[in-house]
């Protein structure tokens, strides 16, 4: 284990010996797996970039590493002294908790009640302080309430620093590596890249890499019904209350720029549940809610994806963080009882026998 200097030279102190790697060096390099059962390759080929294989369990490890290491390099964060304050729906909080513990930084993570007890417990295990806020009374949304609390903490906590994932360029830059890895596996890049949009860090970083390298890959951004990222929701969307964290946002992220996505597809929470359960049933991949969103978008796109095309779906996290929601038949029934029930594990066993 690398010994950290307390004068802010933490980055320089990290080992560069390839054979003696530390946990932060294991971020990235996630596997790309074929989804041939869900998408028969005779039509078009789909690969999944499985981001749960990051040490913190999600794609947000990349963003946390990029933002924290940049802040240390530029003196905004001083190991042993500074406190990181951030708003997160869960995954960035866990990723930051891991990074802050590694670099001897304090962390206060502002979450909302959609953050599971397990996620909060993981953050605390890494040494973070977790604060839970309720919906903003003016908008009925969680995000403005979380941001208000972050601003208050920045005023009151000494040496506090807010990475601000929604506006931090280093959140986006982290995903140059995501796209580079995809292109190393599929030279020239895939024809289509399907990804979930939240802060738009993944979208912006991958789209920048595609542009800068002159690739022909077209980007399909998957957003939540009711989200405002790519424009005001249609009137019918307003009754859809989002319960699955990760993709979608109640504000337009400053990281978003015009033209990053070639196509935007919006999915409901129920689509996410169905997508997750199909991925589990067919491919034995236990994935998180936004992965279900990406699967639902891909499954609804078979009419326009040309035969022989290659698609990559970015799966941001694993399903073990959603056992009490997406993978709980009780939760699904309570939230979507007016809709057709997605295939449960019991149903799968029944239909297979
Ligand atoms: N899915 C999950 C599970 C996430 O945690 C996030 C990050 N909020 C996203 C999708 C969206 O990624 P990004 O913030 O890079 O747009």
Please give the chain's pLDDT, 353 residues, in tens.
Answer: 343 444 445 565 565 565 668 999 999 999 999 999 999 999 999 999 999 999 999 999 999 999 999 999 999 999 999 999 999 878 999 999 999 999 999 999 999 887 888 999 999 999 999 999 999 998 887 888 999 999 999 999 999 999 999 999 999 999 999 999 999 999 999 999 999 999 999 999 999 999 999 999 999 999 999 999 999 999 899 888 788 888 998 889 999 999 999 999 999 999 999 999 999 999 999 999 999 999 999 999 999 999 999 999 999 999 999 999 999 999 999 998 765 555 544 443 333 33
Domain boundary among 98, 133, 168: 168
In this prediction, residue 7 carries a pLDDT of 43
Q: Which of 5, 182, 153, 41 is nearest to 86 (CA)?
A: 153
CATH code: domain of residue 279 = 3.40.50.1100
Q: How many residues does the chain have?
A: 353
Domain that holds residue 128: 60-168
Which residue lies with its CA nearest to atom 8 of ligand 1?
Answer: 246
pLDDT at residue number 346: 42
33 membership: H or E segment, kind and range: strand 32-34
The reply to whether 71 and 92 lie within a common domain is yes
Cβ pair 176, 224 in contact under 8 A: no
Residues 261, 318 within the same domain: yes
Question: What is this structure's pTM?
Answer: 0.91
45 and 93, same domain (yes or no): no
Judge if the beta carbon of residue 247 lies within 6 A of ligand 1. Answer: yes
Pocket test for ligand 1, best of 143, 146, 202 (most atoms within 8 A of CB): 202
Centre of ligand 1 to C-alpha 20, Å, is 30
CB atoms within 10 A of CB 2: 13
How many domains does the structure of the chain reveal?
Answer: 2
DSSP string, 186-214: STT--SEEEEE-SSSHHHHHHHHHHHHTT
Read off the tokens for 337.
């009882």
**75 and 52 belong to one structural domain:** no
Judgement on whether residues 346 and 243 belong to the same structural domain of the protein = yes
Query: What is the position in ligand 1's atom list of the atom closest to the CA of 200?
Result: 16
The rounded distance, in Å, linking the Cα atoms of 112 and 165 is 16
CA distance 353 to 348: 9
| Residues 138 and 244 placed together within one structural domain of the fold | no
87 CB near ligand 1 (under 6 Å)? no
Asked if residue 338 and residue 239 are part of one domain, the reply reads yes
């Amino acid at each position: 284990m690398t010994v950290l200097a307390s004068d802010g030279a933490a980055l320089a102190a990290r080992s560069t010996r390839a054979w003696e790697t530390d946990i932060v060096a294991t971020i990235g390099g996630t596997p790309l797996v074929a989804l041939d059962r869900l998408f028969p390759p005779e039509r078009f080929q789909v690969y999944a970039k499985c981001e749960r294989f990051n040490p913190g369990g999600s794609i947000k490890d990349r963003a946390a590493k990029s933002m924290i290491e940049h802040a240390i390099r530029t003196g905004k964060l001083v190991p042993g002294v500074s406190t990181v304050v951030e708003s997160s729906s869960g995954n960035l909080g866990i990723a930051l908790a891991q990074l802050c513990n590694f670099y001897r930084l304090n962390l206060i993570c502002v979450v909302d009640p959609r953050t599971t007890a397990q996620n909060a417990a993981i953050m605390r295990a890494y040494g973070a302080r977790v604060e839970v806020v309720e919906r903003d009374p003016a908008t009925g949304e969680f995000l403005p309430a979380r941001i208000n609390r972050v601003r208050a903490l920045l005023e009151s906590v000494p040496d506090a620093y807010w990475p601000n994932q929604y506006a931090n360029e280093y959140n986006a830059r982290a995903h140059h590596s995501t796209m580079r890895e995809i292109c190393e596996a599929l030279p020239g890049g895939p024809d289509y890249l399907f990804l979930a949009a939240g802060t738009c860090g993944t979208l912006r970083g991958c789209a920048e890499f595609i542009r800068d390298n002159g690739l022909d890959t077209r980007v399909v951004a998957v957003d939540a019904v009711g989200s405002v990222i790519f424009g005001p929701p249609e009137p019918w969307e307003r009754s859809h209350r989002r319960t699955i964290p990760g993709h979608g946002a109640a504000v337009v992220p400053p990281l978003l720029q015009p033209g990053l996505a070639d196509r935007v597809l919006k999915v409901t929470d129920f689509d996410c549940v169905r997508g997750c359960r199909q991925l589990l049933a067919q491919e034995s991949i236990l994935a998180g809610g936004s992965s279900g969103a990406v699967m639902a978008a891909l499954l609804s796109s078979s009419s326009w994806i040309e035969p022989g095309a290659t698609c990559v779906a970015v799966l941001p996290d694993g399903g073990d963080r959603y056992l009490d929601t997406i993978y709980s038949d009780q939760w699904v029934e309570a939230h979507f009882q007016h809709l057709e029930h997605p295939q449960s594990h019991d149903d799968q066993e029944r239909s297979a026998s």
